[in-house]
Structure 1
């Protein structure tokens, strides 16, 4: 069985106290590798190294940071074939999903490289004669990133690459379910020649690693992708030392289908948005709200397409739906589905599971009296809700504490643009799935879906702070 060391301040190390994370393949339930877990000593070493390196890295030339990032992207691309089987076994991702994820990561790192030379300030008109007034944008210092298990490579690199590009040093805590993905990132940046102290990767428990990093006053920002509950707790911890935080949290994302849109096309879009990566995506299309004239027909077509989805071995190129990361999540889905059916919902497809494999599931006649209308499933379960008209559909979309992604399907673009202004979400996609991504667009949500935005210049703003300078000459 393969064993992996920690990456602390640019070096592969073994912790003072031997502790391991058993990396379990969710498809088989078997341990396929072991990763060393960081302890208090390794956390302190990473913090000390990042704090000491922050000034030299922060003062490095933009072209130097750009070159390292471009090299890291090349390294990931060159070694992708080696990493793909590891990442499938670790996360249960399908071959299609993980291949696309790695391709997105290389593009994202190159986008971050481009931002190195775009960090800019500005000149302000002077208040007095012979008065120069200007502002600069500067790195924060030490940044901590906490990554989730569902897109473990992409969502970690999204934080690492942009923070480093802006001149910050970075400590990454990957999910304990997918620790190997974080070490893959470390290998790429090590091969690219990243100076020591700029990056550490610390797999370990949230109590030992996550809480210590969040509480430490040397850390100036924490970037989290995770559940809303964890985000709330992190915000409270960060507030104690007035450090910044960026929170990309959960979603219960609606797709509003209006009566003029082709039902078959709508079902294709909904199947992708609802079941991609087993629905374990914060942007997953979990609530489909269809206008009454097309409601029954849509449910019929959607049920037929859902029943044809291939579930099985994630290494098989034909597989669309693989295992959930935790078998215990099946119990959560069972509870939500049972509650909905007992209150009048109809099960059109799925609803069963074996091991961590949960069948693609479709429920119709879901109402606001049911828990599943509001709760995030994080599994392959899609609900269909009937709306009287477009305005009622928007009301149903907004009746939720989450506000991450949303979708409107209609041929009336004028109406769609009007409705997009009313939907309470950080992202609105017209005639597309809720699962739309771009390394250049502002990614993030409102309400309980988070604080801050990621990608491109939006990440640059998150990972830097402004300084105002005046000169009386």
Structure 2
């Protein structure tokens, strides 16, 4: 039996991970995690409350200074061991992602592989010099800057890439010398606890990391009320992110927000249509469209619009929908069956206002078939609202200038893509697009452990990844040194 769970009547019952210990909550209450593909019970998970949250924060606060003062070689070794542990547990974690989040095997494997690279990237970042020296006006004086950890950071993770996005927060906060309290999504709590397993087996000093699944309102209120928590890092909906920002501001906690998107993919008339179709299909149908970066708006120049629509719809109809455990499945289940009604509402509104339904708009249980709309205009809800499912809108544009105007006509600004062989137009669009990330000759879905991931407008605040996360998660301190005695005016 693993310390993280015990089998009861054939069902794993997971404990909380607090300050290096696997433990039940004081209330000994559990919640059920179900498999979205089958509706079957997957696991039971202990639920943290205020008492467990306070204990986790206290442990992180007591532990982080000693961790930051530990020689970098020793801290680096923990991360390299964690990478080895992750490699050994890859199959187990992949299976959890498939069963708990509805990920197809390819997507689940990508998450695990990304986190392996992330751990090694973070180990390297700990050896990067984070400060600089600077000349000063006073004779004999110079200055330099250093970065020091904030202390305790709390992370709130989403359900759609629950291992990758939570691990990114945990790993880079620890690499910067902080302690961390992770509240995983209520829909994917076991995945969050797998992160604790990795670091526990790697020998991370006890106290630095706690993983506390539980009710968002109760745990969130305890986190925001505690002055020892100096930063909140959140990935989720724009609606929730706005509320968290308000709460964080009340006690001047730092925060980073990675929120929603309505990302445009611009396909100009000189593009290779077949390549553009492949890129666009991956960009919207990866993980059933439950990706903040998904290119849910495809803006296609007039000369190739009809050909693109025809080929894209054919590809969408060819994708296998079904059990994510089967290797040829492309479209697995949505995490919530209620999302089908949201997508239906968007499609019905668009069609009633003149959009053409090219394929899809059918669902069964928690499966929604790939759906393609053309002729979408700005008076339709789907133009502005995030569907978070396998549905996209194809919009005809006259030229790259109209494409830029329509692409920017949204409150979101996370990612964007441009497919063209005209480098001048590509660069003009890259500079003009109101988004935190632009991918030329690619779709909108892209991420690596060391890049500045994040958006503008209602898509985000701050950046995650590599040294950019570590800058967000540290205080910058200016220090001066006087060589000899300074001459004072009095």
TM-score by length of 2: 0.95
User: Does the CA contact (< 8 Å) of 1:324 and 1:358 recur in 2?
Assistant: yes
Query: C-alpha distance in 1, partners of 2:140/2:289?
Result: 61
User: Does the CA contact (< 8 Å) of 1:144 and 1:214 recur in 2?
Assistant: no
Q: Aligned-pair distance for 1:468? A: 1.1
Which of 228, 246, 249 lines up with 2:256 in the alignment?
246
Q: Aligned-pair distance for 1:30? A: 1.7
Q: Tell me: CA distance 1:78–1:196, structure 2 relative to 1, closer, same or farther (3 Å).
A: same
The aligned counterpart of 1:276 is 286
The aligned counterpart of 2:126 is 116
Gaps of 5+ in 2: 1-10, 485-490
The aligned counterpart of 2:487 is none
Deviation track 1:425-463 (CA, whole Å, cap 9, x = no partner) reads 001111101001111211100000000111111111111
**Does structure 1 residue 448 correspond to structure 2 residue 461?**
no
**Does structure 1 residue 469 correspond to structure 2 residue 469?**
no
Deviation track 1:274-310 (CA, whole Å, cap 9, x = no partner) reads 1000000001110001111111111111111110001
TM-score by length of 1: 0.99
Within 5 Å, give how 1:258-277 maps onto structure 2: 258-277=268-287
The aligned counterpart of 1:88 is 98
Q: Aligned-pair distance for 1:62? A: 1.6
Q: Give the secondary-structure state (helix, strand or coil) at the position aligned to 2:191.
A: helix
Q: Give the secondary-structure state (helix, strand or coil) at the position aligned to 1:281.
A: coil
Q: Give the secondary-structure state (helix, strand or coil) at the position aligned to 1:155.
A: helix
Q: Aligned-pair distance for 1:317? A: 0.6
Within 5 Å, give how 1:3-402 maps onto structure 2: 3-402=13-412
Query: C-alpha distance in 1, partners of 2:314/2:93?
Result: 35
Query: C-alpha distance in 2, partners of 1:166/1:153?
Result: 20
User: Does the CA contact (< 8 Å) of 1:247 and 1:452 recur in 2?
Assistant: yes
The aligned counterpart of 2:6 is none
Q: Aligned-pair distance for 1:211? A: 2.5
The aligned counterpart of 2:4 is none
Q: Aligned-pair distance for 1:56? A: 1.0
Deviation track 1:127-178 (CA, whole Å, cap 9, x = no partner) reads 3223242211111100011100000000001000010001000000000000
Q: Aligned-pair distance for 1:107? A: 0.5
Query: C-alpha distance in 1, partners of 2:450/2:481?
Result: 36
User: Does the CA contact (< 8 Å) of 1:287 and 1:382 recur in 2?
Assistant: yes
Query: C-alpha distance in 1, partners of 2:413/2:92?
Result: 37
Deviation track 1:379-421 (CA, whole Å, cap 9, x = no partner) reads 0001101112110011010000000000011010121011111
Deviation track 1:220-261 (CA, whole Å, cap 9, x = no partner) reads 111001111111001111111111101011100000110111
Q: CA RMSD in A?
A: 0.9
Query: C-alpha distance in 2, partners of 1:212/1:112?
Result: 29
Deviation track 1:194-218 (CA, whole Å, cap 9, x = no partner) reads 1111000010111111222133210
**Quick check: 4-13 or 260-269, which moved more?**
260-269
Query: C-alpha distance in 2, partners of 1:229/1:261?
Result: 36
How many residue pairs are counted as aligned between the two chains?
473
